Amino acid sequence: MIDTRGLSCPIPVVMVQKALKNGAPASLEVLADAQVAVENITRFARSQGYQVAVAEDGSDFTLTLTK
C-alpha cells in the first residue's frame, strides 16, 4: 500500500510509478486525499495496463490498481 495523502502532484504519481517498476505487482492499493491525485494516478495506471477502482471514504480515497 502506498500512502500519498498530504502530498501534491506529481509526487503521488511518481511514487506509484516507482512501485509499479519494482516488480510490476498484479495489484496495488494507493491512499490519496486530493481529487487531482486520484485523476492523475488513474490516468497513469490505465496507461500501464491496470484497471482502477476508486473508493471514497470521507476526504480520503482508496485506489485499487489491478492487472
Per-residue model confidence as pLDDT tens for the chain (67 residues): 999 999 998 999 999 999 988 777 889 999 999 999 999 999 999 999 999 999 999 999 999 999 9
Q: What pLDDT score was predicted for residue 28?
A: 94
DSSP 48: T
Q: What is the pLDDT of residue 62?
A: 98
Which structural domains are found in the chain, ordered by start? 2-66 (3.30.110.40)
Which amino acid, 6? G
Question: Would you state the pLDDT for residue 10?
Answer: 94
Please pick, among 7, 9, 31, 52, the residue that the annotation labels catalytic. 9
What span, in angstroms and rounded, lies between the C-alpha atoms of 9 and 31? 14
Would you state the pLDDT for residue 18?
A: 93
- Please confirm, yes or no, whether 9 is among the known catalytic residues: yes
Q: Give pLDDT, residue 23.
A: 75
